[in-house]
Structures are given as C-alpha cells and as structure tokens.
Amino acid sequence: FSIEEFAGRWYMLATNEPTLPSFCVCGINDVSIDRTDGAYEYYNRNFCFSQNVTLHIKGVLSNDSTTPGLLHETAAVLNHTMTTLLPNYLFSVQRDASGTISTAFTYACLGELPFMGRDLFSFNVLSRSPLWSLPDIHALVASANATTRGRLNLSGMRYNDATAYKKCKGMLDPGTMSTAPSKRGKGAENAR
C-alpha cells in the first residue's frame, strides 16, 4: 500500500463521527497527498439541511514506511490547523479486480472533546463509488469489525447508500453516479 493511492475522491458510506451532526448526509472527502512535505489534506463536504457544508482537514503523513496509514490530522481554519494533531488510522483497504483501491476503513481517535465528557472516536467506511446498497454497506462494516476482532464500537453508525447520494445530486459532480462498485476484488490489505 502506498499512501498516494489514498488521494482523490472518497464517498463516506458509513460513519459514526461524533462531530458530524446526524442531519448531515452524503459525505464526500476530496483528499490531496504531498509526500514531499509529508502532509495531506482533504475537504469533507456534506449536505446539512439542504446546504453544502465543507470542513477543511489538514494533517501529516506517517514517517514510518511500514505503517503508511498512521496519519495525524485536525480541522484547519484559514489554512492553519486549530488544535493538536490527532491520530487517524487508515487501517485497511480493499482493491477491485484491477488492483485499484476501492474501499478504505479509517478510525480516528478524537480524545475527550469539550462538553462530551468521554474519549471519542470516529469510524468511517470510504468508497470510490457512491453506488452501494445498504446491505452491502452493512457487510463492509461487519468486515471492518472482523478485521479488528470486534473491537470497534459501532453504536451510532449512519449510512449513505446509492439512494441517499442520488437525493444529494446537487453536491455531486456530473457523471459520478454512473459506475457501480466492483463486487469482485482482490480483497483487503492492512494499511497501518
């Protein structure tokens, strides 16, 4: 796995991100990787009450080639990070029949956020395609949970299937709804 493969557009099929209100749907991450500077960033866009809301995230890449998915990030305002960089683990990827990464699982440690009173985390299932059925997304979540031997807290999971993304078509670029995900892939690999 090369971290450069993580660059590009990702659809957030499933998440339990505690800082993202449940009325925000159809998440899209547009990721840029800068290996030279050891940095990455992405813009997370969601529809929240029919409004396009964008959050800018910046972070640093792993400096250990054996764990390219060990990232650290936080929100950025006016192109500057706001708090301490927090761990965000790109812990597993799945490839399609052509060898291209088609899905990715991430887990971010958010720590104890103000007014929350407990340590929080965020688990996300990302895909290159928004055209997934709800049962297939549930299978991806179950696969991720199996990868961690059941250690993920999956409470509060929210899902965006093909139907949800079609309802959010004002947020999508033309042509993004034309390709269904491949059901036959090369399987998962550890990205840590």
Q: Spell out the domain ranges in the chain.
A: 3-190
Q: What is the dihedral of CA 138, 143, 145, 147, to 10 degrees?
A: -170
Select the CATH number that applies to the domain covering 3-190 from these four: 1.10.3720.10, 1.10.10.10, 2.40.128.20, 3.40.50.720.
2.40.128.20
Q: Report the share of the chain in percent with pLDDT over 90.
A: 59
Residue 183 confidence (pLDDT) above 60:
no
Q: 25 versus 113: which is more confidently predicted? A: 25
Helix (H) or strand (E) holding 165: helix 162-167
pLDDT-based confidence at residue 150 (cuts at 50, 70, 90): confident
What residues are paired with 123 via a beta bridge?
107
**pLDDT at position 179:** 46
Q: 19 versus 101: which is more confidently predicted? A: 101
Residue 177 confidence (pLDDT) above 70:
no
- Asked if 49 and 36 touch (Cβ cutoff 8 Å), the reply is no
Look at residue 112 and give its three-state secondary structure: strand
pLDDT-based confidence at residue 186 (cuts at 50, 70, 90): very low
Single pTM value for the model = 0.85
Alpha helices for 7-152 (secondary structure H)? 134-147
Q: Report the share of the chain in percent with pLDDT over 70.
A: 82
As a whole number, mean pLDDT of residues 71-79 equals 83
Residue 70: C-alpha distances to residues 15, 35, 89, 117, 130 (Å): 19, 14, 5, 26, 25
The dihedral through the CA atoms of 160, 165, 171, 172 has a sign that is positive
Residue 175 confidence (pLDDT) above 70:
no
Distance CA 39, CA 53 (A): 23
CA geometry: angle at 68 spanning 63 and 70, to 5°? 80
As a whole number, mean pLDDT of residues 116-125 equals 80
